[in-house]
Amino acid sequence: MRNWAKICKRVPCRNDAIVGASLLAIADEKSPASRLLHLSSKGSNGFQEDHGPIVCCRRVLAVIVIFTVLFGQSFARDWGDSTEGRPLLQVFKASDFQTNATVQSVVQDHEGVLYFCSNGLLQYDGTTWRHYGADNNQGLRVGAIDEQGRIWVGGYGVIGYYEKDPFGQLYYTSLLAWLPPEHRDQLEVWGVEVTSRGVVFSAANKIMRWDGKTFHIWPLPDSRRVFSQKIGDAVYMTHQETGLWKLEGDQPVLVVPYDPSIKRVPYFLKPLGGDSFLAVTTSDLARITGSKMTLLPGNCGNFIRENFITAICVIDDHTFAIGTYRGGVVLVDDRGNIVRIIDRASGLPDQAVNGLFLDREKNLWITTERGIARMESSGTVTTFDEANHLTGRSVSSIAV
- Domain map of the chain by residue range? 4-88+384-399
- Per-residue pLDDT at 351: 96
Please state, in angstroms and rounded to a whole number, the distance separating the CA atoms of residues 331 and 315: 9
- Per-residue pLDDT at 79: 52
Give the lowest-confidence range in 195-209, 250-264, 301-315, 326-340: 250-264
CA distances from 128 to 115, 148, 209, 225, 382 (A): 12, 23, 34, 33, 26
In the predicted model, is pLDDT for residue 286 greater than 80?
A: yes
Q: pTM (2 decimals)?
A: 0.79
In the predicted model, is pLDDT for residue 232 greater than 90?
A: yes
List pLDDT tens digits, range 110-129.
999 999 999 999 999 999 99
Average pLDDT for 269-284: 93
Please state, in angstroms and rounded to a whole number, the distance separating the CA atoms of residues 210 and 163: 16
Helix residue ranges per DSSP H, the chain: 94-97, 181-184, 301-307
Please state, in angstroms and rounded to a whole number, the distance separating the CA atoms of residues 120 and 103: 10
> What are the residues whose beta carbons fall under 8 Å from the beta carbon of 283, sequence distance 6 or more?
263, 264, 301, 304, 305
Map residue 182 onto helix, strand or coil. Answer: helix
Average pLDDT for 233-245: 94
Map residue 44 onto helix, strand or coil. Answer: coil
Band of pLDDT at residue 197, cut at 50, 70 and 90: very high
Give the lowest-confidence range in 65-69, 117-121, 182-186, 311-315: 65-69
Average pLDDT for 288-301: 90
